């Protein structure tokens, strides 16, 4: 896990129910809890997701059509995905605006990427990073 996390790649833990609760002793569960404790002691940027959430996010990432131009980025998503996060190039003190299905949505600025959750954004050297619940259909970010 450590090598995968340090490369900045998604690290996925998989187990079998029988290994977690073998003979009711929960030895596998205790081992899992210790692994999680150690990971949290070493890293402060982990985001825990179920496999179904990871699959939906990566499918949305690959299948959503993204078009940029004229200070806007348009997303045409074949299905919804929670906590969709994108980096958009922006100059200076630009403040992003979000429209989901043509309805404006309020975005709140947060100080760090680790603080991102749906409906928030933060600034970095090249632009802004925005987190929102991507709906099925068309959405737009204006910078």
Where do the structural domains in the chain lie, given as residue ranges?
2-42, 63-142
> Which H helix or E strand runs over 138?
strand 137-142
Short-list 13, 27, 143, CA closest to 74: 143
pLDDT per residue as tens, the chain (143 positions) = 899 999 988 888 888 878 888 788 888 899 999 999 999 999 988 988 888 998 999 999 999 999 998 889 999 999 999 999 999 998 888 899 999 878 899 999 999 998 999 999 999 988 999 999 999 999 999 98
Short-list 33, 56, 37, CA closest to 46: 37
Q: Give pLDDT, residue 36.
A: 93
Q: Give pLDDT, residue 16.
A: 82
Q: Give pLDDT, residue 129.
A: 96
Distances (CA, A) of 93 to 18, 89, 96, 124: 53, 12, 10, 11
What does the alpha-carbon distance between residue 74 and residue 119 come to, in Å, rounded to a whole number? 17
Q: Give pLDDT, residue 14.
A: 84
CB under 8 A, 24+ apart: contacts of 93-99: 94/127, 94/128, 94/143, 95/143, 96/121, 96/128, 96/130, 96/141, 96/142, 96/143, 97/141, 97/142, 97/143, 98/130, 98/132, 98/139, 98/140, 98/141, 98/142, 99/139, 99/140, 99/141, 99/142
């Amino acid at each position: 896990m450590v090598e995968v996390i340090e490369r900045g790649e998604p690290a996925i833990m998989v187990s079998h129910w029988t290994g977690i609760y073998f003979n009711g002793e929960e030895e596998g569960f205790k081992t899992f809890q210790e692994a999680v404790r150690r990971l949290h002691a070493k890293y402060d940027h982990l985001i825990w997701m179920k496999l179904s959430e990871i699959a939906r996010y990566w499918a949305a990432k690959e299948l959503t059509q993204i078009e940029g131009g004229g200070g806007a980025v348009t997303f045409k998503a074949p299905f919804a995905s929670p906590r969709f996060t994108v980096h958009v190039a922006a100059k200076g003190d630009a403040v992003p605006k979000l429209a989901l299905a043509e309805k404006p949505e309020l975005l709140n600025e947060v100080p760090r990427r680790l603080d991102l959750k749906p409906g928030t954004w933060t600034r970095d050297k090249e632009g802004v990073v925005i987190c929102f619940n991507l709906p099925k259909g068309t959405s737009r970010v204006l910078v």
